[in-house]
Amino acid sequence: MDDFYTKLAEILEVDRVAADDVLSEFEYWDSLTVLSVLAMLDSGYGVNLTAANLRELKQAGELAAVVESRKRK
C-alpha cells in the first residue's frame, strides 16, 4: 500500500503520510480534499466510499485497511 500513501500525500500536499497520522489534522483536510481522496480511491482502486464513510475513519492506516480489503483484485 506504499502507492496509496504516496497518492494520499500528494493530495494532502505533504512529503509523506504515515499509518498513524490523523486525517482531520492535516492542514488541507477539507470537503474538497475529501472529494479528491474519494475520486482517487475510485479511479485508483475501484473502491467507492462516501464522505460520511471517510469521516468515520480516524487514521490514514484505517483508510488503507479499508482500501486493502475492498480494492479491485
Partner 1 sequence: MNDPDFITPLSLRSRRVLVTGAASGIGRAACELLSRLEARIVAVDIDEAALNGAVQGLAGEGHAQCCFDVGDVERIPGWMADVAQKGGPLFGVVHAAGLSCVQPLRLLSPAAYRKVLLLNTEAALALARGFHKKAVGDAAGGSIVFISSVMASAGAPGAAAYAMSKAALHGLTRSLAMELAPGKIRVNCVAPGFVRTPMFDRMSAPWDAAQLARVEEDHPLGLGAPADVANSIAFLLADTGRWITGSVLTVDGGYTAH
The answer to whether residue 32 forms part of the interface with partner 1 (CB under 8 A) is yes
Say if CB 71 and CB 19 are below 8 A apart.
no
Distance CA 58, CA 21 (A): 8
Stretch in the footprint of partner 1 (CB under 8 A) among 1-9, 18-26, 48-56, 61-69: 48-56
Alpha helices per DSSP H over the chain:
2-12, 31-45, 51-55, 60-70
Stretch in the footprint of partner 1 (CB under 8 A) among 1-9, 17-25, 37-45, 58-66: 37-45
Contact positions vs partner 1 (CB under 8 A) = 11, 13, 28, 31-36, 38-39, 42, 48-52
